[in-house]
Each structure stands twice: as structure tokens, then as C-alpha cells.
Amino acid sequence: MDVSIVIVSFNTRGLLDDCIQSIKQETWCCYEIIVVDNASADGSCAMLRERHKDVTIVENDLNVGFAKANNQGFAIARGKYFLMLNPDTVVLNGAIDKLVDFMEQHQDVGICGPRNINADGILQYNCDHFPSIWNTFCYYSGLSHIFPKSILFNRCWMRYWDYASVKDVERMSGCSLLIRSTLYRQLGGLDENFFMYFEETDFCYRAHKEGARTNYIPYASIIHYGGESSKANDKNAVISKTVWLYFYKSQYYYFKKNYGLFQMLAIRLLDFLYGALLLLRNSVRFDSVKRGQAMALGRLLLKHAID
């Protein structure tokens, strides 16, 4: 078994079907697909049993989160490589085979990921530096926008780089991430204290500390629609307050776990100050829609920074 593909699904039936179809059409190495369903209410598991009888299904009675669900899937996986893949993705032009081939040729690389694109072909920034107070300050202060090509000021998602070449990076998005199974097991999988967000960042950080390299592979491409599970229960298809709660809770846990209490308190303070600035700056904004969005984000930042 070359690669075990684990897809964590939550109310993404149609996209999940398309994702699996693309894997089958575009993958020639020996693979298995394991879908861990986090208590979907849209008939996802029934669809799998009807249309994809060769897929292994793990059905959870409740939503256990992204990290734990991935660990459940990889606990029964048999592949030499583990692929974390979101259901809102479409594999293009043998992308999985290309990632596996790269890993076979570079034994010192522990993690690699493809070029992620939107449905219209526009590049997604899926590589990043590890989170830091400085990176967040540059984003909040606007320095990253003022100096878009600066490696010093625009480190968030590495927008200073053209994503055109194979490159060692610090971390990559978990929507499509290939990992050596030996490394995954060595590190104990994903930290299940993360319900969603930052779990792949934490894994890449721990792998980096162990000397494992993470590489971006531009000639392997995968479409990523993005955020579909987060939108599933929201009538307006926007990120919900609950999802923001998970984001900030995970962020503060990541900082405390990996950098210590002082830096965790510092990032909370930075979030609080930025939230206050958003409220102050947008209170007199004429555009009611944008004012409402900015004010809502400001209130969320204030709330989560002091919780």
C-alpha cells in the first residue's frame, strides 16, 4: 500500500463524492481511501455505501473535530504515506502520484504538499511561516499590505514568493498534506486538543523540531474550494461565531504549548488591541455592510482575547 488517504467529512456529501471520483480517475499508485464522518446529517455515509463500496467508512456519533477524526482514520491505515485530504478538493493530473514520487526521491523530506488552486485556477497561498507575534503584528498593522513583496513584513502565507518552484517551507495547509507514516506515528499523530485549526501547524512544528523537512511541490495541483464544512450549518454560508471560537481557542493553545505562557498572553493582547481598533475605526464607516462585518470581527476579537 503506497498511500492511505484519509478524508474527514462533515455534511459535504456532493463535494465528497466529487473528491473521491477525482482520486480514482487521477491516481495510479496503490492506495486506500478512508472516510471518517463526523456525524453528517446529509446522507454522506449512505452515498459512500452506494457509490463507493471500496471506501472504508468510520462513522462517528458526534463531531469529534478534525484532529481526532484524522487520528481515527490513520490508526487503521496501511500505507507507507498518509495523505490528509479535505472533502472539498479535486485531484488534478496525477497529483497524488507526483507527491509520492517526490517523497520516494527525497528520503529526508517528511511532509510535502501540492499547489492548491481555486476552481478558476487562481493560486491559493497554502504555505506559511510558523505563527509569531511579529507576523500577526505585521498583518494587523497593515505592514504586510504596504510591503507585499517583503520577506520581513509579509510572512503570513508567504505572499512575497511566487509559488513557482519546489521549496522548503515551515508549514503547509492541512487540506492536502502528504506525510510519511513513520513520522506521523513517531509524533503521535495530530494533537487532539485542537478541535479544528492549527493542528497541522502544530504537527509541522513538531516535525521541524525533529529535523523533518516540509516541501512545497508546484507541479502537483489540487483544487480546494475551501471552508465548506464550516459553512454547512450557516444559512448565509459564512464562517460562524462557533468556528471563530475554535480558531482563537486553537491559536492560544498553540502559542502556550509551543512558545510558552508569555507569548500566549502577548498574542491575546495583540488580538484585543486590534479588536478595539476595528471597533473604533469602523464606528463611523458609511458602508453599513462593511461596517457591520468589521464591528462583528472586532467584538469577537475582544471577546475571545479575554475569555
Taking the CB of residue 13, how many other CB atoms lie within 10 A of it?
20
Among 197, 83, 175, which residue's Cα sits nearest to residue 125? Answer: 175
- Say what the pLDDT of residue 226 is: 82
Average pLDDT over residues 106-121: 97
**Running DSSP on this structure, what letter comes out for residue 213?**
E
Average pLDDT over residues 94-110: 98
Q: Is the pLDDT of residue 125 over 70?
A: yes
- Say what the pLDDT of residue 227 is: 61
Question: Looking at the DSSP assignment, which residues form a beta bridge with residue 140?
Answer: none
Average pLDDT over residues 57-78: 98
Cβ-contact 169, 158 below 8 angstroms? yes
Among 2, 219, 225, 205, which residue's Cα sits nearest to residue 111? Answer: 205
- Say what the pLDDT of residue 284 is: 77
The mean pLDDT value of the chain amounts to: 93
Q: Is the pLDDT of residue 235 over 50?
A: no
Helix (H, G, I), strand (E, B) or coil at 244: helix
- Say what the pLDDT of residue 228 is: 53
Q: Is the pLDDT of residue 113 over 80?
A: yes
- Say what the pLDDT of residue 239 is: 55
Residue 230 — very low, low, confident or very high, per pLDDT cuts 50/70/90? low
Average pLDDT over residues 278-297: 83
- Say what the pLDDT of residue 293 is: 83
Average pLDDT over residues 12-35: 98
Q: What is the spatial distance between Cα 298 and Cα 304, in angstroms, rounded to a whole number?
A: 10
| Chosen CATH of 3-125+163-226 out of 3.60.40.10, 3.20.20.140, 3.40.50.970, 3.90.550.10 | 3.90.550.10
Among 58, 163, 42, 57, which residue's Cα sits nearest to residue 114? Answer: 163
Of 122-126, 189-193, 230-234, which range is least confident? 230-234
Provide the percentage of residues in the chain whose pLDDT is more than 90. 84
pTM, two decimal places:
0.92
Among 33, 298, 66, 41, which residue's Cα sits nearest to residue 199? Answer: 66
Backbone angles phi, psi at 286, to 5 degrees: -80, -35
- Say what the pLDDT of residue 115 is: 98
138-168 as b/e: b if 16+ CB within 10 A: bbbeeebeeeeeeeebbbbbbbbbebeeeee
Tell me: the pLDDT tens digits for 140-178? 999 999 999 999 999 989 999 999 999 999 999 999 999
H-helix segments, the chain: 13-26, 44-51, 66-75, 95-105, 133-141, 143-146, 181-186, 199-209, 228-231, 241-259, 261-282, 288-306
